[in-house]
Amino acid sequence: MNHLRIRVLLMICGLIETSLAHAAVDSYRFAHVTIATPWYIFLFLMLGVFSPFVLMAVLAWRNAMRKTTPESSDIDNKPKSE
């Protein structure tokens, strides 16, 4: 009787695993690859590559604009002689 239970349990486990494998293979039906897919990948990668350069340009421009303002605070920070 115990030997029969083990066989049934192994058979059920085998059936479950085959159904999971079948579901994994069928999931690729929903991955539609069209002629536009390479363009989407290219645009996504282009944004990832060029966004640091855009950020670098914005930060450099901001730093350059900050340095052109008159620095009147240097006069206020000088120690007073007594």
Question: pLDDT grade, residue 7 (50/70/90)?
Answer: confident
CA atoms of 65 and 59, how far apart (whole Å): 10
Write down the pLDDT at residue 78. Answer: 62
Three-class SS state of 72: coil
**Intra-chain end-to-end CA distance of the chain, in Å:** 106
For the chain, the structural domain boundaries read 35-66
Single pTM value for the model: 0.41
Q: Fill in the DSSP letter of residue 69.
A: S
